[in-house]
Amino acid sequence: MLEIRDLHAAVDGTPILKGITLTVNAGEVHAVMGPNGSGKSTLAQVLAGHPAYEITSGEILYKGENLVEMEAEERAQQGVFLAFQYPVEIPGVSNAYFLRAAYNAKLKAAGKEEVDPMEFLDLVEEKLKLVDMDPAMLHRSVNAGFSGGEKKRNEILQMAVLDPTLAILDETDSGLDIDALRIVAGGVNALKRPDNAAIVVTHYQRLLNYIVPDQVHVLAGGRIVKSGGKELALELEARGYDWLLEAVA
């Protein structure tokens, strides 16, 4: 589904990613871990198409197509979803309206008929249960005045509504208490299917107690310095990142 080959990316001329190679198959969950500044979030942003990042070399194939050539909205319409580390507030725009616009944009891109507000309400009510969200949240402005936990839950709600093929979760666990973490992870697990995949970017191992990865990759200095199974995450929890960094240096 996703093939990243020797990817180099820079922001404002400063190289951040220095040769990432990674293959994600349908049905898999990959965890990307690493210390602060290792390039984890950059990788997530690059995959989603953030314009601030320049791809200097390498390639990204998504379902066999060149992802780099696609605008951010095209990627989204094709099923790439990024759950943001810092979800953005849009004052005055209701959550329901925003969600429906996003849902319809995807339908439209697929040449399907858009749904009206009533149809959409039925659909979204189902998804609300998944993340244990109060329906009143639909009528509040997008993320405006939401608590940290509400924002992250709202990200997973969007993910549930948009039903992505490739979901990228960027530090979705940061700032969550244990109950919220469980709800968020539960939502992600419920959406898992053989025909989709997820990349979970996280600093800590604790999220991986709830979302069990098929593979764990450790990023340091813009490269993947180690890959392994889920047990690698436990090892990192016990030993920290230093031993890996020293080994690389």
Phi, psi of 74, rounded to the nearest 5 degrees: -65, -45
Task: Rule CB under 8 A: choose which of 34, 39, 87, 187 binds other proteins.
Answer: 87
Residue 70 touching other proteins (CB under 8 A):
no
Question: Which residue matches tokens 């944009």?
Answer: 105
The two beta strands, 215-220 and 197-201, are: unpaired
Burial class, 109, CB count within 10 angstroms (exposed 0-12 / middle 13-18 / buried 19+): middle
Applying the rule CB under 8 A, the residues between 181 and 240 that interact with other proteins are none
Under DSSP, the state recorded for 207 is G
Cα R_g (the chain), whole angstroms: 18
Residue 158 touching other proteins (CB under 8 A):
yes
Phi, psi of 55, rounded to the nearest 5 degrees: -85, 115
Q: Residues 6 or more apart from 224 whose CB is under 8 A from it?
A: 20, 21, 22, 217, 218
Q: Pick between residue 41 and residue 215 the one whose CB is nearest to other proteins.
A: 41
Residue 118 touching other proteins (CB under 8 A):
yes
Nearest approach in angstroms of CB 30 to other proteins is 19
Q: Pick between residue 88 and residue 238 the one whose CB is nearest to other proteins.
A: 88
Applying the rule CB under 8 A, the residues between 4 and 63 that interact with other proteins are 48-52
Positions touching other proteins (CB under 8 A) are: 48-52, 71-73, 75-77, 81-82, 84, 87-88, 90-94, 96-98, 100-102, 105-106, 109, 117-118, 120-121, 138-139, 141-142, 158, 162
